[in-house]
Structure formats: structure tokens, C-alpha cells
A and B are shown apart, each in its own frame.
Chain A
Amino acid sequence: MNINPEFRRNLWLELTPTRLVGMPMILGALLFLAYLLDNKQYGESVANTALILFGLLVFLWGTRLASEALISEIRDHTWDSQRMSVIGPWSMTWGKLLGSTIYPWYGAVLCLLVYFSSQPSLKLSLIETAVLLLGSGLLGQAIGLLSSLQAIRKNQRYGRFQTTVFLVLGAGCAVSVVSWPFAESTSIFWYGRYYPDNRFVLISLVLFLAWTIFGIYRLIRAELQLRSLPWAWGMFVFSLMIYSAGFYGENSWVTGLSAWPQRLLIAFLVALMLAYGTVICERKDPVTFQRLLQYLGRREWGRAMQIAPLWLSTLPFVLLSCAVLVIVALTSESVQQFAVPAMAMVLFLLRDFGLLLFLNLGRVPKRADMLTILFLVLLYGIIPTILTALDLSRLTELFWPIQGVPAYIVLPAALFQAVVILWLMTRRWRKTHQSY
């Protein structure tokens, strides 16, 4: 039988006889201690200990191992030989995700068995609890692997600090998901209906787990030099816009106003945040842009879309949702006040992206992203605060897409800033391009 080579390699590395014996011995000792401390009762105390051990093994250790799975390959110079292999992207995804974390999962499954057998009463059904715990653990690990993979595609040098960031990100997401149904039971409002929170969280968990694993698959495809059109990213952006917008409108039946304009605003903000997120997370070297321009110049649209950065693929969603928002604002009073800030946000986004690209095209692009974040803090935070402190709060409208600002002030100001930065960026691009 042909077993997944990546998974088999991890089994060889992780499940040595000593480790296989060691894990149940340590877990057994800790659980036995909990049993003794609880007056020799095989009950809640043992169950809670098993649950804590499960969390430590899966959320912390497992997520750390998943985050390091690829970084260690790059550090040990084995990733190139993996990329030269004929292992498919799905096999690589599962082999890395499940293989690198197999040892913590081995211990976690033992803990889960103890938890189920010792917990006197489960808040959720057995299957629901199992799906929740296993799914959230897998989600945390998948987020750790996905973020490290994206970081590697941006920059191949990563150390302990970055791994810890990926660990915190993955574990944070997993713990926030798993803790919800264990807290006091509430219902969740989504698109005009109330759903039991445990069911809603479980379905959301499965949905986001599927997206995260699919994201890993797509990034591994790219690492293996397999070309893909950005339809998957487009679908993710769209589904997240739809998903997030559904939470608004709980009081709409009281106010009698339609919730759809506000939902549209939320969808627009989600697209905007994803655009900012991707532009920071992705690599922005001039060679990629040059290649993109080459394809566009030759009218090879498919090729151009294959190599286009994700932030560029997100922009149509931002622009389209803004346009729809403006059209709706003309007919609905409830979002009229958001139309101008939304347009200003798009113009400020163009300014910010222009700034980011301008700095990335400079002589030292290594710290360009960090420098851009500092500039944005300056533009969105420090300068408006200074102006407010100087009793010049009207001038803050030049830097903030805030509600209630007249269109004739904020839009020309934002447009002017965007045009200047984009002109500077184009100038630098031409200069860089000519220097090759």
C-alpha cells in the first residue's frame, strides 16, 4: 500500500518506541495524581485534568509543531528536495498537518478517552464535544501552519519569535472557538433567525477549518510551482463578507428598518480589512510586478491572474461593495451617512497601498512593511491627535474617513493624497525598472 510519504516520514520521526511508551506513562501519572487529590474519585477532577492536558497537548504543543513544520524544513535545507518531489499538494498538506502533530494527538486522544469516561455529564452530546475539541485543535494547528507558510512565501528567514507569533495566533483562535460552547448557553442571531450557539459554533468551526485547510493546500500548490487562478480566494472573501454581515440586524424588527444596508456596510468593511491584511502579508517585490505587467502587456489574462497578488484580487470586492453601498445610500436613509466615509476609505486605501508599494520599491525593502505601519499610525493616529490637541480638529478630517465629515472636504483631500502617493510610486517604479 502506498502510504502518504510525508506522513510516513513524520511517523518515523515522531512515533519512536520510547516516545510511544513515554506519553501514556506521563499522562497516566498526572491523571492518577488528580484521582488521588479528588479523594480517589474517578469523576470531574480527573475529567478537568484530562481536558487541560488535552488543551496543552493540542492547542499549545500541536500548534507549535504545526507552525514549525515548514520553517524547520527551510532551516534544515530539506524543503527544496520536497519541492522537487512528486508528492501532490493534498498529500503534502495532510502529511504536514497531521504528520508533524501526530505525537501530541496521540496523547490528546488518550486524554479525550479519559475525559469522556470520567465526566459525569457532558454539556454537549458526545459527538458534538468530540467534533468541537478535535476540530478546534485542528483549526489552531492549521492556522499555525497556514500563517507560517504564508510568512515563508513572503520571506524565507524566520526564527523563534515568529513561530511564537504563529503559535499565539493559532492557539488563540482555537481556544476562543472551543471556550464558547463551554460558557453559558446563548443563542446567536444570524440573518434574521436565532440559532443555538453550540450548533452555530460547530458549523462555523467546520466551515473555517475547511477554508483554512484549503488555504494551506493552495499555498502548497504555489510552493510546488503549480499555477492556480485566484477563484478560491475570491470565494473566501465573498463567503466571509456574507458570513460576517449576517450578525447585524438583531433589533431591526424593533426599529422597523431594513438591516440590509448595514449588512452591506459590514461586508464592505470585511473586504477592506482583508485587502489591508493581504497587502501586509504578501511579498511585494518589483520582479512579481514586472512579470505581471509583462503578462498584462501580452494580454495573457489567465497568466496575469495566476500570479496576481491576493490583495489585488481583493480590490474588486472592496470597490464593488463600496459602489453598491453608495447606490443603496442614495435610496436608503439608514446608511446615507456611511456613503462618504466609505468612498473616503477606498481613497485612503489607495493612498496606503501606494505608500506601501512606494516603500517596498525602495533601496531597502526589508523593513518597508514595518515602516508603512509606522506611517499609518502617524497618519491615522498621531497627526489627528496633535491637531485635536491644538484645537484644529476640523483638520483631522483630512486624515480620517470619519462619519459626518462633509464630502467636499474629505474626498478631495483623500483623492489628492492618493494621487500624490501613486504618482511617486509610479515614478519610483519607472526609475527602478530602468536601472536593471
Chain B
Amino acid sequence: MIEVKDLVFEYPGTRALNGVSFQIKPGNITALVGPNGAGKTTLLRCMAALEVPLSGEVRIDGENIHEYPRACHRKLGYLSDFFGLYDELTVRQCLLHAAASHGIQADEQLRVTEQAAARLGIVDRLGMQAGELSRGLRQRLAIAQAVVHEPQILMLDEPASGLDPEARHSLAELFLALRDQGMTLVVSSHILSELDEYSTDMLILREGRILSHDPIEPPAEATVRLRVSLTEPCRGLQALLSGLSGVSAVEGDERSVVLSFNGDAAARHHLLKSLLDQGLQVCAFAEQQRNMQSAYLESVHGQDSQEGVR
């Protein structure tokens, strides 16, 4: 669906993207994450043919977007981080304009407008001026404009910034609904908690390079992440734990560690018991959910330690 190959983009004096390559399959919701200045917005803008890269290519359904921008734009919806609306137009006019701008025939425009408004839950606001809407509703209207022509791919740059928790949650539900309707989504954000609810893949970008691009898979049922904390520091804690049956990937310090443990509830009980038997003053022993935050940090730390080894 989306194929990015050896993409290089430079601003005067800065290389923002450095040989970025990846593929996104149809029906995925890819979270594009990375620290501020990693190149997320530049990558999205190149993918939307709003910027021309120095080299490399972006293909949408096999078509090079920089060769055929207009044809590809029919398949794309894009919402930038600083999206704008025509504040003096009504919501209906905004959507009618978006529909006409995307080549929807005149006799179809009203239907697709109402459909997009219904999809985004703003049917009751069609008569209101865009400037009168709240932040969350403006966001919805902007997304409605981006999807009014039923694009195959929707790209969103920091879509949840400035939204309250309730609005963020409904945005997550909306993205899942759009995915279920066959859309492929690429969502950029540096707030990982908001991506947790809907992302199927995570693409980590750092200093203009791809750090990792993996599906977000739930861990195998028998394997859990456990956090073990002690009241007093214990020298050689990591080595001690690594030697126990079922324990792997121990990370932390002498007082608190996170480990992977393969075993059922009874095995977990035995692990705790053996720790106590060895005289460790355990004050916390709890399962830790593996979320995007931890997956991201693992990737970043893994890369850092590799660079350290080099």
C-alpha cells in the first residue's frame, strides 16, 4: 500500500531524513513515533507529496507520489499538525468545499458531506460556523474534511494534541472504526499513551533514521513482565534473578528490576517464594503491562547500547 524507499530530505544545513525505507500494509494503523525533531512531520509531508525529497521515492499503490501527485492525492487524506479551517464557513460549507476540491461530482457532494459528518458525529453542527466550534469539534471537522472523499490512506500529524482525555478516547474509537472500514492510517505523535489504544504497528524514527518498524503484538500468554522492588539494595540482584528458572531479560538496578517471566500463576508464586527464601526484602512484586511506551523505550535503549558497544 505505502512503500518508502531510501528517502533523504534536507533542509538547508540539516538532514531531516536519512535513507528512510519501510512498507505499510493495507488496513494497518501505524504509529509514527519519535522525539521532537526526529523527522516525523517531514516524513509525513514527503509521503503526502507536500515536500519533495532530495532523493528516494514514496509509492502509493505502486505509483510514485512525486511523479503523479494529483492521482495519489485522490487516494490520500492528510491532516497536518497545524490544520486550518475556514472559520467563516459553516460546517456544511467546509465539507462541501472539501468534497468538491477532491473531485466529488456536484450531485454526490451533499451525500458524502452528510456521510462524513455522520461518521465524525458532527451532523448536528452542520449549520454552525467552523469558528464557533470547540477544539475537539474542530479536530473532528478537520478529519471529516480529510476523509470526505473516502481515501484509502489517512495520514494524521499529532491529531490528539490539545484534546481532553474524553476527546482523545473518542478519536481512538474513530480511528479503529475507519480502519474497520478498510482505511490504512499513519498517525504521528510523540505522546505514546494516546497511540496505545489503536495502533497495530509502531515505526520509530530518531534523528531522521528508522530505529525500528514492528507490529505491536501482545506478549505470549505465558510470558509476563514483572516488576520486583526491594526495600534495601541487593548487590548482584540482576545476576541472581537471571539464574532463576523461567526468568529472562532482567533490566534495572540493585533495588528495582523489570524481568520477563515464563510461567503460570503457580510458577509466579514459587518465584516470589524463592526470592523471599533467599532473604530478599521484596516490597513490590507486580505484573507490568507491556505498552507502547515500554516497547519504544526498549527499542531506543537497545539502539543506544548497540551504539555504546560500537
Known: A2-B100, A3-B106, A84-B50. A77 touches B89 (CB 8 A): no
B55-A294 in contact (CB<8A): yes
Q: Which of B58-97 contact A (CB under 8 A)?
A: 66, 69-70, 73-74, 76, 78, 80, 82-89, 93, 97
**Interfacial chain A residues near B78, Cβ < 8 Å:** 80-81, 84
A362 to B189, CA, bound (A): 33
Given B13, B82, B101, B146, which contacts A82 in the complex, CB threshold below 8 Å? Answer: B101
Given B12, B73, B101, which contacts A365 in the complex, CB threshold below 8 Å? Answer: B12
**Interfacial chain B residues near A12, Cβ < 8 Å:** 89, 93, 97
A422 to B102, CA, bound (A): 47
Q: Which of A284-326 contact B (CB under 8 A)?
A: 285-287, 290-291, 294
For the complex, would chain A's binding face be called helix, strand, loop or mixed by DSSP majority? helix
Per-residue CB contact flags for chain A residues 10-37 toward chain B (1 = under 8 Å, else 0) read 0011000000000000000000000000
A86-B73 in contact (CB<8A): yes
Q: Which of A77-96 contact B (CB under 8 A)?
A: 77-87
Q: Which of A141-198 contact B (CB under 8 A)?
A: none
Per-residue CB contact flags for chain B residues 38-65 toward chain A (1 = under 8 Å, else 0) read 0000000000111010110000000000
A3 to B100, CA, bound (A): 9
**Interfacial chain A residues near B69, Cβ < 8 Å:** 224-226
- Assign chain A's interface to a size class: 35 or more
- Please, how many residues of chain B have a CB less than 8 angstroms from a CB on the other chain? 38
Summed over the interface, the residue pairs from A and B with CB atoms below 8 Å come to a total of 94
A76 to B86, CA, bound (A): 8
Task: Report the minimal beta-carbon distance from A273 to chain B, rounded to whole angstroms.
Answer: 28
A436-B86 in contact (CB<8A): no
A87-B101 in contact (CB<8A): yes
Greatest chain B CB density within 10 A among A1, A76, A79, A81 is at: A81
B80-A77 in contact (CB<8A): yes
A225-B80 in contact (CB<8A): no
**Interfacial chain B residues near A84, Cβ < 8 Å:** 48, 50, 73, 76, 78
**Interfacial chain A residues near B87, Cβ < 8 Å:** 76
B105-A2 in contact (CB<8A): yes
Known: A76-B84, A225-B69. A86 touches B12 (CB 8 A): no
- At the interface, yes or no: A123 with Cβ under 8 Å from chain B? no
Known: A225-B69, A290-B54. A78 touches B86 (CB 8 A): yes
A77-B82 in contact (CB<8A): yes
Chain A residue nearest to B70 (CB atoms) is A86
A13 to B11, CA, bound (A): 36
- At the interface, yes or no: A277 with Cβ under 8 Å from chain B? no
**Interfacial chain A residues near B70, Cβ < 8 Å:** 86, 224, 226
A81-B82 in contact (CB<8A): no
A80-B80 in contact (CB<8A): yes
**Interfacial chain A residues near B103, Cβ < 8 Å:** 86
- At the interface, yes or no: A5 with Cβ under 8 Å from chain B? yes
A6 to B89, CA, bound (A): 13
A287-B11 in contact (CB<8A): yes
For the complex, would chain B's binding face be called helix, strand, loop or mixed by DSSP majority? loop
Q: Which of A379-415 contact B (CB under 8 A)?
A: none
A85 to B83, CA, bound (A): 14
- At the interface, yes or no: A40 with Cβ under 8 Å from chain B? no
- At the interface, yes or no: B98 with Cβ under 8 Å from chain A? yes
B54-A8 in contact (CB<8A): no
B50-A85 in contact (CB<8A): no
A436 to B30, CA, bound (A): 29
A225-B10 in contact (CB<8A): no
Per-residue CB contact flags for chain A residues 65-77 toward chain B (1 = under 8 Å, else 0) read 0000000010011
**Interfacial chain A residues near B48, Cβ < 8 Å:** 84
B74-A81 in contact (CB<8A): no
- At the interface, yes or no: B290 with Cβ under 8 Å from chain A? no
Known: A78-B84, A84-B48, A86-B73. A285 touches B106 (CB 8 A): no
- At the interface, yes or no: A432 with Cβ under 8 Å from chain B? yes
Task: Report the minimal beta-carbon distance from A282 to chain B, rounded to whole angstroms.
Answer: 14
Chain B residue nearest to A73 (CB atoms) is B84
B84-A432 in contact (CB<8A): no
A85-B101 in contact (CB<8A): yes
Known: A8-B97, A84-B73. A13 touches B12 (CB 8 A): no
A285 to B51, CA, bound (A): 14
- At the interface, yes or no: A9 with Cβ under 8 Å from chain B? yes
Task: Report the minimal beta-carbon distance from A78 to chain B, rounded to whole angstroms.
Answer: 4
Per-residue CB contact flags for chain B residues 117-150 toward chain A (1 = under 8 Å, else 0) read 0000000000000000000000000000110000
Given B15, B50, B66, B85, which contacts A80 in the complex, CB threshold below 8 Å? Answer: B50
Per-residue CB contact flags for chain A residues 201-224 toward chain B (1 = under 8 Å, else 0) read 000000000000000000000001
Chain A residue nearest to B151 (CB atoms) is A84
A76 to B94, CA, bound (A): 14
Chain B residue nearest to A285 (CB atoms) is B12
A81-B73 in contact (CB<8A): no
A9-B97 in contact (CB<8A): yes
**Interfacial chain B residues near A79, Cβ < 8 Å:** 84
**Interfacial chain A residues near B49, Cβ < 8 Å:** 225
Greatest chain A CB density within 10 A among B12, B83, B89, B98 is at: B12
B86-A287 in contact (CB<8A): no
Q: A9-B97, A76-B86, A363-B13 are in contact. List 4 more A-B contacts (CB 8 A).
A: A5-B100, A12-B93, A225-B52, A286-B12
Q: List 15 A-B contacts (CB under 8 A).
A: A1-B106, A2-B106, A9-B97, A12-B89, A76-B86, A76-B87, A80-B80, A81-B84, A86-B70, A286-B13, A287-B12, A291-B52, A294-B54, A435-B13, A436-B10
- Nearest 9 pairs of A and B residues by beta carbon: A77-B84, A85-B101, A5-B100, A78-B84, A225-B69, A86-B103, A76-B84, A285-B12, A77-B82
Residues of chain A having any CB pair with chain B under 8 Å: 1-3, 5-6, 8-9, 12-13, 73, 76-87, 224-226, 285-287, 290-291, 294, 363, 365, 432, 435-436
Residues of chain B having any CB pair with chain A under 8 Å: 10-13, 15, 48-50, 52, 54-55, 66, 69-70, 73-74, 76, 78, 80, 82-89, 93, 97-98, 100-103, 105-106, 145-146
